[in-house]
Amino acid sequence: MSRPRKAEDPIRLPVPCNRCGQHHQTVARWPDGGVCGYCYQQAKRTRGICAFGHEGVLPGIIDEQPTCRRCSGIRLNVDCVSCGAEDELDSGGRCWTCALGNVVDDLLTDPATGAIAKDLIPLGATLKSMKRANSGMTWIRQKHVTAFLRNLAVAPKITHEIFDQLPDSRTREYVRGLLTEHGVLPQRDELRMRYNNWAA
């Protein structure tokens, strides 16, 4: 997933990036040379196991092989302030998983009690453990998803009827499905419900 690049500017930026060879703003001087913003982002997102067995973020390149910070001598902050994991960090210095966890807790907390309703705890756990936490963040930050979860956080009870009263949306049905999977909501024949609603 790479962002579309801006046009190169060889007049203002005569020295090309050491990695991609294009004329973009240099954002870091690493032992292998000046690195542009695009290559910097890509380096931060490169994960794997380096030639010397270190597993984590591999921002360096030695003999065309990705290498860890220690092997490459690159200084880069990729240590999550919450869990210590080595990962791409958000502006608060947290990895995607911790950042997502924070957002989930925040959205599902009932402001009146300062706590998450017991019925919503399994939902919180499921949302937090999404495999791709950065996609999870993109999903959860959408206005309609945020609004939906805030509504749910203050719902008096978690029942199908409460769900039915919330605005009909894919988010609603997705969350309903998750809660059913976790046994918070009983199984219900959604197709028949829809038919009944339509027939009514």
Nearer to Zn ion, 88 or 119 (CB): 88
Angle at 144 between CA 143 and CA 145, to 5 degrees: 95
Q: Residue 4 carries which DSSP code?
A: P
Nearer to Zn ion, 36 or 127 (CB): 36
- Asked if 59 and 32 touch (Cβ cutoff 8 Å), the reply is no
Contacts to Zn ion from residues 58-97, by CB under 5 A:
68, 71, 80, 82-83, 85, 95
Compute the least distance from the CB of residue 158 to Zn ion, in Å.
Answer: 29
Nearer to Zn ion, 71 or 162 (CB): 71
Compute the least distance from the CB of residue 82 to Zn ion, in Å.
Answer: 4
Whole-angstrom Cα distance, residue 124 to residue 175? 11
Site string for Zn ion, 7-26 (x = CB under 5 A): ----------x-xx------
Q: Residue 56 carries which DSSP code?
A: E
Nearer to Zn ion, 54 or 150 (CB): 54
Nearer to Zn ion, 22 or 180 (CB): 22
56: left (phi over 0), alpha (psi -120 to 50) or beta: left
- Is the sign of the CA dihedral 92, 93, 99, 105 positive or negative? negative
Q: Does 198 bind Zn ion (CB under 5 A)?
A: no
Options 51-59, 100-108, 129-137, 173-181: segment touching Zn ion (CB under 5 A): 51-59
Tokens of 182: 């976790």
Q: Which residue has tokens 């009909």?
A: 168
Using CB under 5 A as the criterion, which residues of the chain lie in contact with Zn ion when the complex forms? 17, 19-20, 36, 39, 50, 52, 54, 68, 71, 80, 82-83, 85, 95, 98
